[in-house]
Amino acid sequence: MKLLTRTLTLCLALALTNAAPSLLPEVAAEVAALPDRCAGIEFDAITLDEQGKFLFFKDNHLWKGFHGPAQPSNESFKELHGLGHVDAAFRMHSAENPDDHDHIYFLVDEKVVRFYNQSLEDGYPKEMTEEFPGVPTHLDAAVECPKGECMTDSVLFFKGHDVHVYDIATKTVKTKTWSHLPQCTSVLHWAEHYYCFHGHNFTRFHPVSGEVSGNYPKDARNYFMKCPNFGHGSDYKVPKCSEVKLDAITTDDTGKTYFFAGSTYMRLDTIRDGLHGFPITRSWKELSNGVDAVFSYNDRIYFMKDDNVFIYKGGAHYTLVEGYPKSLKDELGIDGHVDAAFVCANEHTVHIIQGGTMRDVDLTATPRTITREAPLPSALSDIDAALCGQDGVKVFKGSQFYLYGSPMILVTGRIIVAPQSITSAMMGCQD
């Protein structure tokens, strides 16, 4: 029985019957023994589990998710009992090795313990030297770093200010010293960003260079847990699906799909980190006032806002191309407000929707000019966003979308397409 339930049940029973008052000190002591992360503690380890839920470890306790009381860690990972407190924990990223991918690793002194779905795997615990040769023991923290964010699929092991980068495929280790970074007691990889936790604070850093950009450290209670009188002021709340209204949507060359609404964006293609809304400036710092339209082409993401185009280089961390923003006229040969834009896979034409017209621009031409204009069906006025995928072109209008087989069918088809409703599976909204 969970401690909170037990406490409430006992208190209610005692209030009603005045029975067994001697139990009260025992329960009170048990409650008092629970660590309170809102009091400002230093975590031993933090990781995500296979379903994308946060796990925070301190001594023999853990918290699951952003809120709720601590619980004994051996209730979820019983084999950890007797091994000592966890030094480090991480969720492995090794997509080419499904027997390892998404498994949870715990590092305890000189041992490695591996779980999947909270079950200890055969052959564990193992010696650190056997599982990760060349990596020291008694570590402070560890975190996975997928290819694309690091040069190869890797694990970063932290001890003091030294970072031991373990290449999963070659089993080789390179050591770096990041003396500018605080000494991390736990490290978290979440939504393509890396966080070093130290004391009750955290510092975000680049996984290759260790570079810290922005104003850090920050108090973890404002961002990674729900505590009274704390919070970073984000007003984002998961909307009802019937209330969703997109400003823009795109899928980049690596298959990452983002939607934008107001000053917020959400990445839709992964459930490993859960579906969360973030300020657009978190990844594209120059876009402080939202966006009108967006499309992806040739490892670049093009954002349109008012009369300007912002182009960002692709990759795990987007960077604004030098010389941008530029005007829509100079970059794409068009004038006026853009409602939506999209590029289909393996094509070199961006389809730009302005009012009731779709304009095609050849992205290989210099200078870029409009190659075709065509009216949209009358039902598709006031379009919010559009996306081209394997199933065709989705045109979004409010909380609904229209699906067309191709851009050509969109402008020439005579059959009236019935609208479909946005669902929680598509956008992470509430049905």
Sign of CA dihedral 412, 250, 331, 305: positive
Name residue, tokens 């589990």: 49
For 112-170, how does the pLDDT look when each residue is reduced to its tens digit (9 = 90+)?
A: 999 999 899 999 999 999 999 999 999 999 999 999 889 999 999 999 999 999 999 99
How far is the CA of 71 from the CAs of 5, 63, 149, in angstroms? 12, 6, 33
d(CA 395, CA 342) in angstroms, rounded, equals 10
Tokens of 379: 């039902």
Q: Could you give phi then psi for residue 135, rounded to 5 degrees?
A: -100, 135
Q: Known binder of ligand: residue 138?
A: no
Domain ranges of the chain: 42-222, 241-427
Query: What is the model's pLDDT at position 22?
Result: 47
Which superfamily is assigned to 42-222 in CATH?
Hemopexin-like domain (2.110.10.10)
Q: Which residue, among 301, 309, 319, has the nearest Cα to 249 in the 3D structure?
A: 301
Does the model's pTM come out above 0.85? no
Q: Is 360 left (phi over 0), alpha (psi -120 to 50) or beta?
A: beta
Query: What is the model's pLDDT at position 2?
Result: 37
Q: Known binder of ligand: residue 276?
A: yes
Query: What is the model's pLDDT at position 110?
Result: 94
Query: What is the model's pLDDT at position 237?
Result: 67
CB contact at 8 A, 106 and 73: no
Neighbouring CB atoms inside 10 A of 183's CB total 15
How far is the CA of 427 from the CAs of 34, 243, 246, in angstroms? 37, 12, 10
Query: What is the model's pLDDT at position 236?
Result: 55
d(CA 58, CA 46) in angstroms, rounded, equals 9
d(CA 283, CA 300) in angstroms, rounded, equals 14
Query: What is the model's pLDDT at position 271?
Result: 62
Question: Is omega for the bond preceding 72 within 30 degrees of 0, making it cis?
Answer: no
d(CA 138, CA 159) in angstroms, rounded, equals 8
Sequence-distant (≥ 6) Cβ neighbours of residue 336 within 8 angstroms: 328, 354
Q: Which CATH class is domain 241-427?
A: mainly beta
Coil, helix or strand at residue 184: coil
* pLDDT tens for the 431 residues of the chain, in order: 334 333 333 333 333 334 344 444 444 444 447 899 999 999 999 999 988 889 999 999 999 998 889 999 989 998 887 776 899 999 999 988 999 999 999 999 999 999 999 899 999 999 999 999 999 999 999 999 999 889 999 999 999 999 999 999 999 999 999 999 999 999 999 988 899 999 999 999 999 999 998 899 999 999 898 898 887 644 456 788 999 999 999 998 888 899 999 999 988 876 666 667 788 998 899 998 899 999 999 999 999 999 999 999 986 578 899 999 999 999 999 999 999 999 999 999 999 999 999 999 999 999 999 999 999 988 888 899 999 999 999 999 999 999 999 999 999 877 779 999 999 888 878 88
CA dihedral 323→329→332→333, nearest 10 degrees, is: -150
d(CA 130, CA 176) in angstroms, rounded, equals 22
* Same-fold call for 42-222 versus 241-427: yes
